Copies of this chain bind each other. A is one copy, B any other.
Amino acid sequence: MFEVRRKSDVPLTEQIVREISERIQTGMLASQTQLPSVRTLANRLGVSLVTVVQAYRVLEQRGFVERIQGKGTYVRTRTRTPEQLQPTAPHQRFDWQLLLADYLPRAAVFRQHTESVDETPLKLSMAALCPSLSAASLPADLYTSIVQMPAMLTEYGPVEGLPSLRARLAVEFREAGLAVDVDEIFITNGVQQAIDIVARTFLGPGDVVVVEAPTYAGALDVFRACGANVISIPVDDQGLRTDLLLRQCDHKPPKLIYTMPAFHNPTSVVMSQQRRRALLDIATSYQCLILEDDSFSDCSFGVAVPPPLRADDDGGHVVYVRGFSKVFLPGCRLAAVVASGSVRNRLVAAKSVSDLGSPLITQRLVEHCLMDSGRRRRIEKIVNALRIKRDLALQTLAEHAPPGVTWNFPDGGYNLWVTLPDHVNADVLLVEAMRKGISFLPGSACYNGDLVYHHLRISYSYLEDDELVRAVRALCLLMSEAVTGQSRPFMPVI
């Protein structure tokens, strides 16, 4: 199922524990799956029996697996009640598969998505517009626009994306102070694919990539899947701590820096002008790439957001990604990437390897929305509605959150970042919350392997106003219980 690294500083036992527990936590190993026998795994990995026995023992102690005398070792059920364990594994024929090495240590976004979509009605986890706002984001003649273009369905398009959409985006970007050439723009399936394409092109095993701590969970999944050496640099109220980044560069410069300068996810912080300049200077000095993820800059509650980093980049250091899924047409899952020189060529080649090009019809729909004359007005309405939601969430927290819980004040975006007292584990809180029908994003998903469990992200965007208040209030009640009662902060939640 994986390989051990003999030259690593991490002991072999711990490597095995980490690899297996991560696969259990992110749902790649389902509950009740039987693990390989000690002998089989030891042979497969080329380690001693003792190492595997120790690893299985640690996994059992940490609550990930259950040993059943005379039968074997099984992944524990999510409900955490050992008596529900059914050791009659339904997929015995597939046991050999567990020994197949894979290269995907993490899929936190997948787990979060699956959990929140399927199981809970009150989704504080969804950083997306609520259905009523989402519907209001569409031009009235959108459907007519499709009906008039049957060719969109029957033709392959260019790998780079629909030429008319790219031309429109060039105009749009120029109006926003970002001078780009049409040839520098290509289309991807949302921000996630853009991150993935940049990472798979430029990050290989051991390459250093700097991420913000906390950061977007989906980006961590990608960087870890490349085998990159992920270094976390903290974010404060001015954005990425460039002073600490500089120290990292003096030690070992990164090849790529991944940042969200406008309404950072999950903290909603806007990076200051000073930090932006420092970041560009660092990229130029150390000849590294910056991946600028801009999904939320449209969504400001009144503050002026500086132009993208890319606007001040004249050396081709910044790969700028603009998501279109947030303020309109999430169902289209599209993003635009801006990149220059050979970096652009290599990224477009990677897009062709990934999927040959995004669908024409969704590109045409986004183009239609961009061209629509009522667009600015509609976005304004949506942003106003979001500001009201933010205020409702803040007010509810102020009234009901227990002492010791703090949160920030977002000037835009969809998310609130909540800090619990150190001893409270948000992963455990999430299990309780989901029993009450409430989901949120546990902060641990936004950190790379650090044991940071006392944060959580609330998205105020997805619930209608009354549901939002109800959900935040109920969450406050659970937080109160956790703050006073909880006593097992580092128990894993599977």
Contact = CB atoms under 8 A, between A and B. Distances in A.
B152 A346 contact: no
B27 A345 contact: yes
A147 interface: yes
Given A114-B159, A202-B101, A342-B97, A147 B143 contact: yes
Contacts of A113: 156, 158-159, 352, 356
A271 B341 CA distance: 44
Given A315-B94, A354-B354, A27 B349 contact: yes
Interface string A446-482: 0000000000000000000000000000000000000
B346 A102 contact: yes
A176 interface: no
A212 B98 CA distance: 27
A214 interface: no
Contacts of A193: 354-355
A104 B154 contact: no
A63 interface: no
A42 interface: no
Task: Say whether chain A's binding surface is mostly helix, strand, loop, or mixed.
Answer: helix
Interface residues of A, number: 99
B104 A349 contact: yes
Interface string A81-116: 000000000010110111111111001011001100
Interface string A161-181: 000000000000000000000
Contacts of A437: none
Given A343-B94, A355-B196, A153 B100 contact: no
A152 B361 contact: no
Contacts of A348: 110
A362 interface: yes
18 contacts: A29-B342, A94-B316, A94-B341, A96-B287, A104-B201, A117-B156, A129-B154, A131-B155, A134-B154, A138-B153, A143-B146, A143-B150, A152-B331, A155-B331, A156-B331, A156-B333, A190-B356, A221-B352
B221 A200 contact: no
A356 B221 CA distance: 11
A269 B27 CA distance: 40
A121 interface: no
B151 A131 contact: yes
A316 B93 contact: yes
Contacts of A443: none
A377 to B, nearest CB: 18
Contacts of A360: 331
Given A91-B341, A100-B202, 6 more contacts: A94-B316, A101-B204, A103-B203, A113-B356, A156-B331, A225-B353
B343 A218 contact: no
A396 interface: no
A299 interface: no
B117 A158 contact: yes
Nearest to A345: B28
A328 B233 CA distance: 48
Contacts of A134: 154-155
A355 B94 contact: no
Interface string A115-153: 001100000001011010011011000110011001111
B362 A93 contact: no
A150 B144 CA distance: 12
A83 to B, nearest CB: 25
A333 B357 contact: yes
A460 to B, nearest CB: 17
A422 to B, nearest CB: 31
The 6 closest A-B pairs by CB, nearest first: A94-B341, A110-B352, A107-B349, A134-B154, A94-B316, A193-B355
Given A341-B94, A342-B30, A356 B331 contact: no
Q: Which of A129, A143, A200, A359 is packed against the most chain B CB atoms within 10 Å?
A: A359
A262 interface: no
A332 interface: yes
A352 B359 CA distance: 18
Interface in A11-46: 26-30, 33
Contact of A202 (B102, B316, B351): B102
Contacts of A97: 316, 341-343
Contacts of A146: 143, 146
A314 B362 contact: no
Contact of A103 (B27, B91, B201, B362): B201
